[in-house]
Chain A
Amino acid sequence: MIDTKNQWQKGFPQLEIQPDMIHVWRCSLDLPSANLENLLGILQPDEFERAKKFYFEKDRNRFIAARSILRSILGLYLNENPDQIKIGYTSFGKPVLVPGSYFQNLHFNLSHSENLALLAIASEGNVGIDIEQIRYDLDIEALASRFFSKEEICVLEKMDAEKKKEVFFQLWTRKEAFLKATGKGLSFPMEHCDVSSADNRNFSPVIIPITDISDQSNWYVMDLEPAKEYMAAIASDRPNMLISLWDYSFNP
């Protein structure tokens, strides 16, 4: 459930996150170039190497901004300098805080698309988030027939052409948020999970064949409204989490 009517708030929440809460931060990634120079010092060597590999400067700068903002926000919660935050990776590549490094374990997940990033932070439960800017160059029929469940394809087929794109991206972000929350990413057969019945008011269950998730967890997904022309969703393994939405102004 969203704690206010899906409104993004300025300022800062209480930085001790209650067990039933998820904080979602919305951040712009297009920062002035002077700021970007300062940010390079926050990145760790592996992030620096990754940044160097981007083909386009715009993508490199957004990656640098996203990682720096992630470190800065985590630093606020953990009372630690951004460059000291210890981020590791699970065997499936999901970024996590290195276990045992902090008095308080935080679960986080970051997603960015074009110039907008969303970061979800919780003190309890796994969390996944996805944001996508609506694109008009995708063959959505081909993608849906390969990666959507029957129920999702059914929902899509009922839409007129204009609405179809929007609904496709909404379904897609729900699925990606779920896959990111499980930590399995694209290695999970996307068409096996059904998220056709979620909405933007409450967490709804993700329907998964029992055989597909070995740990038998239940997963829940909810839509977010990040900005015009963007779709987003958040997933958790806790059904009744309260979400608060925050706008982050970056001042390195």
Chain B
Amino acid sequence: MSEEEIKKTIFQLLKRIAPETEPSELMPEENIREALNIDSFDALQFIVAISEKLKVEIPEEDYGKTTNLKSLVSYIQNKTK
């Protein structure tokens, strides 16, 4: 899956949990939860959605590696290689 496809899916999933925001305007190194004001429920719903849609499981110990768009895309790319 290309970087662009992964980003597109991430934006769709973020838009679903934070419908009034514009995830596509996220800066690559901006903290996603802070920028979109995503609470812990939505953060974990997002993790579940990533696992359903992209078949990538993100275990708790890796949450710190997926806090911004750049690191999340790279994490997913590595897991789907």
> Which residues of B from 41 to 81 have beta carbons under 8 Å from A?
41, 43-45, 47-48, 51, 59-61, 63-64
- Are B48 and A142 closer than 8 Å at their CB atoms? yes
B51 proximity list for chain A (CB < 8 A): 146
- Are A143 and B48 closer than 8 Å at their CB atoms? yes
A172 closest partner in B (C-beta)? B41
A184 closest partner in B (C-beta)? B60
B38 CB, nearest partner CB in chain A, Å:
10
CB of A201 closer than 8 Å to a CB of B: no
Given A187-B64, A188-B60, A142 contacting B45 (CB threshold 8 A): yes
- Are B40 and A186 closer than 8 Å at their CB atoms? yes
A52 CB, nearest partner CB in chain B, Å:
11
B48 proximity list for chain A (CB < 8 A): 139, 142-143, 146
A135 proximity list for chain B (CB < 8 A): 41
- Partner of B41 from the list A56, A59, A138, A187 (CB cut-off 8 Å) is A138
New contact pairs (4) apart from A55-B36, A138-B45, CB-CB < 8 Å: A50-B34, A113-B39, A186-B40, A187-B60
How far apart sit A132 and B41, CA to CA, in the bound complex (Å)? Answer: 10
- Partner of B63 from the list A55, A172, A187 (CB cut-off 8 Å) is A187
How far apart sit A206 and B35, CA to CA, in the bound complex (Å)? Answer: 33
- Are B37 and A59 closer than 8 Å at their CB atoms? yes
Count of chain A residues near B, Cβ 8 A: 22
- Are A56 and B43 closer than 8 Å at their CB atoms? no
CB of B5 closer than 8 Å to a CB of A: no
- Are B60 and A190 closer than 8 Å at their CB atoms? yes
B20 proximity list for chain A (CB < 8 A): 55-56
B63 CB, nearest partner CB in chain A, Å:
6
Given A53-B34, A55-B35, A186 contacting B45 (CB threshold 8 A): no
A19 CB, nearest partner CB in chain B, Å:
31
How far apart sit A12 and B37, CA to CA, in the bound complex (Å)? Answer: 33
CB of A176 closer than 8 Å to a CB of B: yes
How far apart sit A194 and B64, CA to CA, in the bound complex (Å)? Answer: 24
Sample 6 A-B pairs with CB under 8 A, ordered by A number. Answer: A135-B41, A139-B45, A146-B44, A172-B41, A186-B44, A187-B60
Q: Mark B18-43, 1 if CB is under 8 A from A, else 0.
A: 00110000000000001111011101
How far apart sit A56 and B48, CA to CA, in the bound complex (Å)? Answer: 25
B37 closest partner in A (C-beta)? A59
A55 proximity list for chain B (CB < 8 A): 20-21, 35-37
